[in-house]
Structure 1
Amino acid sequence: MAKTSTVKAKVNYLAFLPKTYSAKGAPVPLIIFLHGSGERGTDLNKVKAWGPPAIVEKDPNFPFMVVSPQVPDGQMWESFALKGMLDNVLAKYNVDKRRVYLTGISMGGYGAWELAMRYPDYFAAIAPICGGGWTRFAERVKGIPTWVFHGAKDDAVPEQESAAMVAAIRAAGGDPKYTVLPEGGHVDAWVHAYDKAGLFEWFLQQRKP
């Protein structure tokens, strides 16, 4: 049976386990989802506003384990703490380490870029949405299958933030997918990515050697 639980640690997070999960059965794929600035706080229910944690509330057949950490009020994503959380999750749960995926929105898009750049060996694929990152470190993620989303009319995070990252990865020899919504605003980018683009099916096609 699918279930969602709350885990309080150095990084508090929601953990959703798919119906297919078994501690001794076949390992399951994992999505790490990083929320935006509006979901910060101490109430983990806030992270259910968007993306995978919202989807699993309605779809118990979602085929991934989903881990959705939360940033306290006034703070930003911290990649070292997230790595510690991820190590804990991988040790605690029966997860397929060849199929660990990372995505985030807005502030979480920035967090996803940073986490992937610092610890690229963890991830089979990433999908940063309306975020941005350090273009000078694009070489570190050029080998990770990457799908980036942004709205051209985003008035919170300029589309150029994503465009610069995509250009830097391509210049380093990578081949990221880039979806720009010509009429899309800030929220539109992740609504499209999670509800319409086939992102999760694409994730399942990616795995580490």
Structure 2
Amino acid sequence: MKKISIIFTLCLLISSAFAQDLSKYEKQSFVLGTDTLKYRILYPENFDAKKQYPVVLFLHGRGESGNDNQKQLANGGKLFLSDNYRKNHPSIVIFPQCAEDSYWANVEIETVSNKRFFNFVKGGEPTKSMNLVLQFTDEFFKKPFVAQNQIYVGGLSMGGMGTFEILRRKPKTFAAAFSICGGDNPANAKKYKNVPLWIFHGGLDDVVNPQLTYSVFRELRKLGYEPKYTIYPKANHNSWDSTFAEPELMPWLFSHKK
């Protein structure tokens, strides 16, 4: 019983520490008419509004959609809280949350025999949640403490798709970007061909076919741009675990300035 009690106490301490870390992300919301975008924001340690900081916008996957302003931190939230990141890359990190009845990317999804097929739209109007992000970032990025030449975006799964989406809608905003297990219509690639991009995917992904990012990579090469492209041969859909463990990801991202 004593061992069980000790184990239970350790689990509580670990759970408490995890929650405490994530609590460093302040809860905020952006209201546009009758619509609301909930988001979490992490300011650098010893934040000084008189200084300027890089900004990282991170778009979560479908499983973290909702309105609790919490789930979007499940994958990636801890990455930006690490001592290494906080020390070497002091920046503002923003995790908006997509509504359950919306999507980051303008894509039609059809399920056949339990298999999902993604039809990415060329052009088209942004979804409700993406429109909120566009309006929010238009406003937030103008703040005096934002380093205009160091604004970045990244995301996983639905958020990886959203990364391509926001790049084509704001191609002059971001200094660099990374997309994990996402996808896009290759015809949209010309819109963001000049943005330094690192694309990741799991070779065994049975949720979002790796071909959906490879087609973007191939099109960008046709356009004369050579993005970074990493395939994890043995990874399934959760290739973000391998991506977050990449020691060069953040140094690469922050090495780019407009």
TM-score where L is the length of structure 1: 0.91
Q: Do the aligned residues in 2 keep the contact of 1:194 with 1:200 (CA within 8 Å)?
A: no
User: Would you say 1:30 and 2:80 are equivalent positions?
Assistant: no
Identity between Structure 1 and Structure 2 (%): 32
Instruction: Say which of 24, 34, 44 aligns to 1:18.
Output: 44
> For residue 190 of structure 2, what is the aligned residue in structure 1?
139
Gaps of 5+ in 1: none
Aligned residue-pair number: 204
* Superposition RMSD in Å: 1.7
Instruction: Say which of 194, 197, 206 aligns to 2:256.
Output: 206
4+ runs deviating over 6 angstroms: none
Q: Do the aligned residues in 2 keep the contact of 1:127 with 1:147 (CA within 8 Å)?
A: yes
User: Would you say 1:46 and 2:62 are equivalent positions?
Assistant: no
Per the TM alignment, residue 129 of structure 1 is displaced from its structure 2 partner at its CA by 0.7
> For residue 236 of structure 2, what is the aligned residue in structure 1?
185
**Equivalent position amino acid for 2:39 in 1:** Y
Gaps of 5+ in 2: 1-22, 31-35, 105-126
> For residue 179 of structure 2, what is the aligned residue in structure 1?
128
**Equivalent position amino acid for 1:56 in 2:** F
1:149 aligned counterpart, secondary structure? strand
User: Would you say 1:156 and 2:207 are equivalent positions?
Assistant: yes
Cα distance in structure 2, aligned partners of 1:28 and 1:3: 17
Per the TM alignment, residue 122 of structure 1 is displaced from its structure 2 partner at its CA by 0.5
Cα distance in structure 2, aligned partners of 1:147 and 1:91: 26
- 1:152-190: CA deviations, max 9, x gaps? 000110000010000011111111000000111111x21
- Bigger drift between 16-25 and 138-147 goes to 16-25
Cα distance in structure 2, aligned partners of 1:197 and 1:74: 35
Considering only CA atoms, is the larger Rg found in Structure 1 or Structure 2? 2
> For residue 105 of structure 1, what is the aligned residue in structure 2?
156
1:91 aligned counterpart, secondary structure? coil
**Equivalent position amino acid for 1:91 in 2:** K
Instruction: Say which of 51, 63, 79 aligns to 1:55.
Output: 79
Cα distance in structure 1, aligned partners of 2:252 and 2:82: 21
Q: Taking structure 1 as reference, are residues 50 and 93 closer, same or farther at Cα in structure 2, changes over 3 Å only? A: farther
Per the TM alignment, residue 137 of structure 1 is displaced from its structure 2 partner at its CA by 1.8
> For residue 111 of structure 2, what is the aligned residue in structure 1?
none
- 1:125-153: CA deviations, max 9, x gaps? 01011000121121111111000000000
2:141 aligned counterpart, secondary structure? helix
Per the TM alignment, residue 198 of structure 1 is displaced from its structure 2 partner at its CA by 1.8
Per the TM alignment, residue 64 of structure 1 is displaced from its structure 2 partner at its CA by 2.1
Would you tell me which structure has more helix in proportion to its own residues?
A: 1
1:67 aligned counterpart, secondary structure? strand
Per the TM alignment, residue 58 of structure 1 is displaced from its structure 2 partner at its CA by 4.8
**Equivalent position amino acid for 2:93 in 1:** V
1:8 aligned counterpart, secondary structure? strand
TM-score where L is the length of structure 2: 0.75
> For residue 5 of structure 1, what is the aligned residue in structure 2?
26
> For residue 71 of structure 1, what is the aligned residue in structure 2?
98
**Equivalent position amino acid for 2:241 in 1:** V
